[in-house]
């Protein structure tokens, strides 16, 4: 039997992954088991922080984060589906320009974009409120600094992460399958549910995973647009680490988020057949 040199070649990557991806999680997990307000890693392990996480009202920020991530995922999917179908049907130069315009903002800092959105949503002389007032004499109250504004920002920021995988998913639907479904008596909704959605599912699932995980960890939207109208879990974690100087508590909350994310994401990931995307 010959020995494959594979493991040796894989070693640098393995070391890199261990040092840069596994180690931080191990350190955070370790900190989460330290007594409150310690700054050293010791062997004096305790579950006190987890007890606090469950009893001291952190369920609420976590709930806001999960709900926000869910709404963002659904919202981006609802916007991205028709966009992806249109871009796919009209593939060509026009569609490429539109795709690039959607992708470009990714290269601009998220906070810059969110402050742009902030100007857009400002009350009275803000772009949205001012335009509506000027064009239609229609006055809207302030929507800035609400959870709704934070959600608008989340959907705005995360749309490309849903759109591009979905575009790939939509391109997996052969036109003749849609025609066959129509021919066999399916109306538009039935065609969508029975044929288009399952055939585009791999793209939709990847988009949903990306959007959900990114939204769950999002903080800036709630801060810049939401005006901290609601406290999301990432804000709570940041607070523990910075202002409260309670690293073990912040680490425990981080672990809770990681576990909750894993519980939600792993079953979806297990069902995903990436090979279908490359066929």
Partner 1 sequence: MADAMQDSRPVILSLAGFSKSFGEIQAVDNVSLDISEGEFLTIVGPSGSGKSTLVRLLAGLESPSAGRLLLRGRDITVIPANRRPTAMVFQSLALFDHKSVGENIEFAMKMKGVPPADRKARVHELLRLVRLPESFYARATTQCSGGERQRIALARAFASDPDILFFDEPLSAIDYRLRKALEVEFKDLHQRTGRTFVYITHSLEEAMVMSDRIAIMQAGQIIQIGTPEEIYGKPANRFVAGFLGEVNILEVAGGHFAGLDRPAPANARRYAVLRPEALRPGKGDVTADLTVVQRLMLGSRTQLFLRSPTGAPLISEVAGDAPEFERGTTYSFGFSPDNIAWVDE
The residue ranges that bind partner 1 (CB under 8 A) are: 174, 176-177, 179-187, 190, 194-195, 198-199
Shortest CB 199 distance to partner 1, Å: 6
The residue (of 149 and 181) whose beta carbon lies closer to partner 1 is: 181
The contacts of residue 212 (CB under 8 Å, 6+ apart) are 69, 70, 72, 73, 264, 265
- Which residues, at least 6 apart from 183, have a Cβ–Cβ distance to it below 8 Å? none
Shortest separation between residue 204's beta carbon and partner 1, angstroms: 13
CB of 188: closest distance to partner 1 in angstroms?
A: 9
Shortest spacing between CB 168 and partner 1, in angstroms: 16
Min. distance of Cβ 269 from partner 1 in angstroms?
19
Report whether 169 contacts 207 (CB < 8 A).
Answer: yes
Kindly tell me which of 204 and 251 has the beta carbon lying closer to partner 1: 204
Residues 235, 58: contact at Cβ < 8 Å? no
Residue 183 CB, shortest distance to partner 1, in Å, is 5
Closest distance of CB 140 from partner 1, Å: 41
Q: Smaller CB distance to partner 1: residue 56 or 183?
A: 183
10 or 180: CB nearest partner 1:
180
CB nearer to partner 1: give 34 or 173. 173
Q: What angle do CA 210, 212, 100 make, to 5 degrees?
A: 45
Specify the residue, 173 or 236, whose C-beta has the smaller distance to partner 1: 173
Decide whether 37 or 188 has the Cβ nearer to partner 1: 188
Q: Which is nearer to partner 1, 113 or 177 (CB)?
A: 177
Q: How far is the CB of 201 from partner 1 (least distance, A)?
A: 8
Residue 50 CB-density burial (10 A; 0-12 exposed, 13-18 middle, 19+ buried): middle
The answer to whether the beta carbons of residues 227 and 85 sit under 8 Å apart is: no
């Amino acid at each position: 039997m010959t020995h494959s040199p594979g493991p040796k070649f894989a070693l640098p990557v393995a070391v890199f992954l261990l040092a840069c991806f596994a180690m931080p999680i191990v350190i955070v997990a370790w900190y989460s088991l330290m007594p409150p307000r310690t700054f050293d890693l010791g062997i004096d392990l305790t579950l006190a922080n987890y007890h606090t996480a469950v009893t001291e009202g952190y369920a609420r920020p976590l709930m806001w984060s999960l709900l926000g991530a869910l709404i963002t995922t659904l919202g981006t999917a609802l916007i991205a589906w028709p966009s992806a179908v249109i871009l796919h049907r009209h593939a060509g130069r026009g569609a490429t320009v539109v795709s690039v315009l959607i992708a470009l903002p990714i290269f601009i800092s998220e906070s810059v974009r969110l402050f742009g959105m902030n100007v857009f949503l400002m009350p009275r002389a803000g772009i949205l409120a001012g335009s509506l007032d000027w064009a239609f004499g229609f006055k809207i109250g302030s929507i800035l600094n609400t959870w709704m504004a934070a959600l608008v920002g989340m959907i705005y920021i995360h749309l490309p992460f849903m759109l591009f995988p979905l575009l790939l998913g939509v391109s997996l639907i052969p036109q003749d399958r849609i025609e066959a479904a129509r021919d066999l008596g399916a109306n538009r909704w039935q065609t969508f549910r029975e044929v288009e959605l399952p055939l585009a599912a791999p793209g939709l699932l990847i988009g949903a995973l990306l959007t959900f995980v990114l939204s769950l960890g999002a903080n800036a939207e709630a801060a810049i647009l939401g005006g901290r109208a609601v406290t999301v879990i990432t804000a709570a974690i940041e607070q523990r680490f910075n202002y409260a100087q309670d690293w073990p508590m912040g680490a425990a909350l981080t672990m809770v988020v990681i576990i909750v994310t894993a519980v939600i994401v792993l079953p979806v990931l297990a069902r995903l057949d990436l090979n279908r995307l490359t066929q």
